[in-house]
Structure 1
């Protein structure tokens, strides 16, 4: 798998305020931890914001390990942005550590205004690839195309352009791009970096070159998908059910978080990754780990960032298919989705257009709104 597909250095260098902060070099991992623990003992408890409920378990594990109180709070990426900004402006910081999947917004709104700061522990610098260091990405997360393994012996779709044909009209489920920024980021990534592959997929499917009035092959595919009456919903839970619930004769085909494959065990669903889909089986995005600049417990916050860069710290999220950026940490064999088998077939996020992703969100929302057919 290509773990180095994203080039965060190119992006970060154009963002004012996103200066990397590296902990002072000390002799080995143990010394780093000892220094932070010692300094943290005199600080107040911390709160950690994350968009997954697994943060509650992670914070509890941290507290038990170090004897320092941390509380995990599940907060959506959109709410995180608003809370971080308001808390900083009012000098009343509640969220000390921010684990946020809306990287474009964080780089456009949080780092330039110094609401948050980037921190990379010195002993982790050799373990985190450079493109994930500034700002610090703790994991890459994936959305994958899935089918119902009970209804189909194999994935019923081999090319993304099939999803624009009458056979799949009204039978494709995705998150509504009007509700989640990383979906419009994906649209922009498709146009900026994936249009050649999308055009090649069109020719492979229809035996002729794509002709379109749109600006790119990526935009042409997005338009065609929108016009084919997909189920645009507000949650991965609804997509998981529409695709994976057992007993269906004609289940939906859908795009959802790899984390939802735990529903196979928890709910008896029949989700399977469409490993044969061309040109990609899905796409990924990243989760940043940042510290509130006005935190009253900076050493505890730094210790928590260090902790979640370790296998012990990030383990609860690895079970949901979140791939750590620490190259020494390996995914568990029992990860439910089987993502590692197809990780090299994900469309990798390219941060060189990250700020453009953020700036064009409204434009892509309008594009979807105009073309979407129910």
Structure 2
């Protein structure tokens, strides 16, 4: 029987069994989870991928908890997509589970050709927002505006339009939108879901309505940002160093993952979170969990998806300010960035807009390329 069809049927039947028989949600492990564990132990070792190195720790903890063999490997989102497509086409699946921080690519490339399937554990479904269920979002990453707290006692910027002014020319560090698709997705999401808030922020800053021929307030802001010579890099690490390295005399602002605030302890950085910048303190992107359609470890794969939706499973990433889609799972009180206190001030990621993000990527890249000035 075709392996892809076998997994789809297996996922569907497993989901039905859990939905019909799962006991109270407060129990740590249901009889159905015990059945998954038993079946998983008869399967080959599990291979899981994520774009964070924390996946190694997560896979090791999963294996120890359930008496299984599992290996976690850090692989960039773009490479994960390519690997899953290539392995599916060759009928030679090596990676069983991927957590991919590129929802538009999952929806636009993987799922339509049947290279991967989305699995939502029925016993956890009531805890997952509807928008995050299909495909399943496992975790969201907060990307925040940051400043150097050694040079200022509070964030020197209160409005994103200030970053387009001469004072901040050449002093805003971020990843290059031509190489990091979550940035073009950010632009797309902001235009589609919060353009009115970008326009209102302009009024708040300048006391008059925005007049622009760009078609949207978001495009006007992106153009102005691009023309203000932001310092572009290939990683959040570069932005974190530019903004937070100690001993600086010139203040930089930057956009980066909340995970980089751990460098305050590891490297003595002085990163501070801009909690009150209008209209948003930052934006979120989604990590989608998918199972390779041709996996020969479908039970172990489903068990791993269930595990990472628990507080125990996602703990290594929660320490970096990454937010579980399970509403029962909170960030640790000592998470370094403090992003948990400003989640209501973030631009949330809307899966419902993911295909529009996918379709508009090239347009946003061309728009950035046309307007960027060094």
Could you list the runs of 5+ residues in structure 1 that have no partner in the other structure?
1-16
* Aligned position for 1:46: 46
Distance verdict in 2 for CA 1:122–1:228, change over 3 Å:
same
Give 3-state SS (helix, strand or coil) of 1:195's partner. Answer: helix
Does 1:79 pair with 2:79?
Answer: yes
Q: Which residue, 13, 17, 31 being the options, matches 1:24?
A: 17
Instruction: State how 1:1-374 maps to structure 2 within 5 Å.
Output: 21=12, 22-25=15-18, 26-28=21-23, 29-374=29-374
Residue 351 of structure 1, CA deviation:
2.8
* Aligned position for 2:3: none
Provide TM-score, normalisation by structure 1. Answer: 0.93
Query: Could you tell me how far apart the structure 1 residues matched to 2:328 and 2:360 are?
Result: 36
Could you list the runs of 5+ residues in structure 2 that have no partner in the other structure?
1-7, 24-28
Answer yes or no: is the 8 Å Cα contact 1:23–1:119 preserved in 2.
no
Task: Judge which range, 166-175 or 117-126, deviates more.
Answer: 117-126
Query: Could you tell me how far apart the structure 1 residues matched to 2:356 and 2:126 are?
Result: 30
Distance verdict in 2 for CA 1:195–1:127, change over 3 Å:
closer
Give 3-state SS (helix, strand or coil) of 1:73's partner. Answer: strand
Residue 123 of structure 1, CA deviation:
1.4
Query: Could you tell me how far apart the structure 1 residues matched to 2:65 and 2:289 are?
Result: 20
Residue 327 of structure 1, CA deviation:
1.4
Distance verdict in 2 for CA 1:23–1:270, change over 3 Å:
farther
What is the alpha-carbon root mean square deviation over aligned residues? Answer: 1.3
Give 3-state SS (helix, strand or coil) of 1:24's partner. Answer: helix
Residue 131 of structure 1, CA deviation:
2.0
Query: Could you tell me how far apart the structure 2 residues matched to 1:196 and 1:295 are?
Result: 45
Residue 353 of structure 1, CA deviation:
2.3
Q: Deviations over 1:58-103 (max 9, x none)?
A: 0000111111101001000000010000001101101100100100
Query: Could you tell me how far apart the structure 1 residues matched to 2:290 and 2:147 are?
Result: 36
Query: Could you tell me how far apart the structure 2 residues matched to 1:167 and 1:191 are?
Result: 26
Query: Could you tell me how far apart the structure 2 residues matched to 1:68 and 1:323 are?
Result: 26
Query: Could you tell me how far apart the structure 2 residues matched to 1:49 and 1:152 are?
Result: 39
Distance verdict in 2 for CA 1:23–1:150, change over 3 Å:
farther
Query: Could you tell me how far apart the structure 2 residues matched to 1:130 and 1:202 are?
Result: 33
Q: How many residues align?
A: 356
Task: Judge which range, 95-104 or 323-332, deviates more.
Answer: 323-332
Answer yes or no: is the 8 Å Cα contact 2:160–2:277 preserved in 1.
yes
Q: Deviations over 1:319-368 (max 9, x none)?
A: 01111111111211111110111110001122332111101101100100
Residue 124 of structure 1, CA deviation:
1.1
Answer yes or no: is the 8 Å Cα contact 1:143–1:255 preserved in 2.
yes
Task: Judge which range, 164-173 or 26-35, deviates more.
Answer: 26-35
Answer yes or no: is the 8 Å Cα contact 2:103–2:351 preserved in 1.
no
Task: Judge which range, 154-163 or 132-141, deviates more.
Answer: 132-141
Query: Could you tell me how far apart the structure 2 residues matched to 1:240 and 1:172 are?
Result: 11
Query: Could you tell me how far apart the structure 2 residues matched to 1:228 and 1:279 are?
Result: 19
Distance verdict in 2 for CA 1:162–1:27, change over 3 Å:
closer
Give 3-state SS (helix, strand or coil) of 1:126's partner. Answer: helix
Residue 158 of structure 1, CA deviation:
0.6
Distance verdict in 2 for CA 1:27–1:197, change over 3 Å:
closer
Query: Could you tell me how far apart the structure 2 residues matched to 1:309 and 1:337 are?
Result: 22
* Aligned position for 1:9: none
Task: Judge which range, 343-352 or 157-166, deviates more.
Answer: 343-352
Answer yes or no: is the 8 Å Cα contact 2:131–2:352 preserved in 1.
no
Answer yes or no: is the 8 Å Cα contact 2:132–2:351 preserved in 1.
no
Residue 249 of structure 1, CA deviation:
1.5
Distance verdict in 2 for CA 1:235–1:343, change over 3 Å:
same
Query: Could you tell me how far apart the structure 2 residues matched to 1:334 and 1:308 are?
Result: 20
* Aligned position for 1:14: none
